[in-house]
Structures are given as C-alpha cells and as structure tokens.
Copies of this chain bind each other. A is one copy, B any other.
C-alpha cells in the first residue's frame, strides 16, 4: 500500500482531497491553508498547490490568495443550475445513444444498472440504489459518445455529490424512477432518438423537482 502507489504526489493530493471533500471531512464553506493540507497529506506545498488548482478548475474548491483553499458549498441555486445542465446534456446523450444503433449487448451495462436498482429497492438499500442510479446515468452519457458531455457531466455530478448523499435518506422512496430508466433503455434499443430524449428529459426534470423541493422543505441553504 505504501510502496506500490505509483501515482505522483500531485495526483494523490487531487484524489485524496476529492474524497475528503465528498466525505465531508473538509467541510463545505471551510478554508484550509496549503500548509495544513500539505501536513495532512504528508507532502510539501507544491503538489498541494497544484492539486488545489485542479480542484478549483473542477468547481470543487476556490483558491483565495492568503485565505487558503475553500471548499465550495452548494446552494439551492447551484443545485438548480447544475441539474439544468445535467438535464440538457444527458438528454442529448440519450438522443445520441439512440442514434448509434447499439445492439442489446452494447446496452447490457445499462440493463444491469436497472436490475441492480430494482434489487436494491426491494432490499431497501438506498445506498446501493444510488450507486446503481449513478452507474446508469454515467453509462447513458458514455453511450452518447461525446467526450465533452462526459467530462462536463462528471464534473456536475461531483459538485452535487455531497448534497445528494445528504438528501438521499430524506427522499421519497424512488419507486417509479426505474420505469423511466426502462423506457429510456427501450427507446435507445429501438433506435428512437426523439423518444429517448423526451423521456429522459422528463425523468431528469422530475428528479430535479424532487431534489429542489427537499432543499426547500428542509431549509437546506448550504450543502
């Protein structure tokens, strides 16, 4: 574990800081000095600075001269903006995926994710459901075959990760959700781009409403 880590220090810093942010170990809104972080990660400031710049570009932190690296909190407005972007880009991906002429075989990751969600739901395992849901969305985007969409969607997902995991257990049980997933898969398999886009857009819009409603209901101004 110590000797076989071939990653550069900068890379390690990026990976570890990301995880710490996702786990909430670096609190949203709090600031950390380069020196502290370097100390924590057991390396010098140089790779930490480079990691901070990278994370800033990914929209996870803000580097403020002399005030340290600040973990960006996510407001309801941010959530709204991000889900709007995801809705557009994933709908595009669904449309494009339906145009690729994929065979059943190409769609099996998607199908498996749907099955996993069903299973997780029947076992009331929200965490597993959420993981499978992410897998579905990520694979859908991948099938759309647009590198920019892939990386932007990944960035947006990262930005809402904390907020999603916090609200996961407040959500109404996502029973209906999987029907949408099946319909999207069906439209893609049938090579129907218009339908794929339309269904997925509605699905995403619904998720957005649920999420934003929760933030409102529980007065979550900052995540």
Contact = CB atoms under 8 A, between A and B. Distances in A.
Interface of A: 46, 49-50, 53-54, 57-59, 78, 81-82, 84-85, 88-89, 91-92, 96, 146-149, 152, 156
The 6 closest A-B pairs by CB, nearest first: A57-B57, A88-B88, A81-B146, A81-B148, A88-B92, A85-B148
Contacts of A92: 84-85, 88
A91 B87 CA distance: 12
A85 B89 contact: yes
Contacts of A149: 81, 84-85
Q: How many copies does the complex hold?
A: 2
Nearest to A96: B84
Nearest to A144: B84
A127 to B, nearest CB: 27
17 contacts: A49-B50, A50-B50, A53-B53, A53-B57, A57-B57, A57-B58, A78-B147, A81-B147, A81-B148, A81-B149, A82-B148, A84-B92, A84-B148, A85-B146, A88-B92, A89-B89, A152-B152
A88 B88 CA distance: 6
Contacts of A50: 49-50, 53
A84 B78 CA distance: 23
A85 B58 CA distance: 18
A219 B106 CA distance: 32
Candidate in A49, A50, A53, A82 with the most chain B CB atoms within 10 angstroms: A53
Nearest to A87: B92
A84 B54 contact: no
A152 B54 contact: no
Contacts of A81: 146-149
